[in-house]
Amino acid sequence: MNTPTIEQQILNAFLQVAPDVDPAKLKPEIPFRDQFDFDSMDTLNFAIGLHQQFGIDVPETQYRELASLAKTAAFVRSALQQDGKRSTGPAAT
Binding site for other proteins (CB under 8 A): 18-21, 36-37, 39-41, 44-45, 47-48, 51, 57-60
> Based on CB atoms, which residue is closest to other proteins, 34 or 92?
34
> Based on CB atoms, which residue is closest to other proteins, 36 or 93?
36
> Based on CB atoms, which residue is closest to other proteins, 51 or 77?
51
For residues 68 and 29, is the Cβ–Cβ distance under 8 A?
A: yes
The H or E element that residue 51 is part of is helix 40-54
> Based on CB atoms, which residue is closest to other proteins, 2 or 40?
40
Closest distance between other proteins and the C-beta of residue 43, in Å? 9
User: Which contacts qualify for 17-21: CB closer than 8 Å, 24 or more apart?
Assistant: 17/42, 17/45, 17/46, 17/49, 18/42
Closest distance between other proteins and the C-beta of residue 61, in Å? 9
Burial of 88 (0-12, 13-18, 19+ CB in 10 A): exposed
Closest distance between other proteins and the C-beta of residue 65, in Å? 14
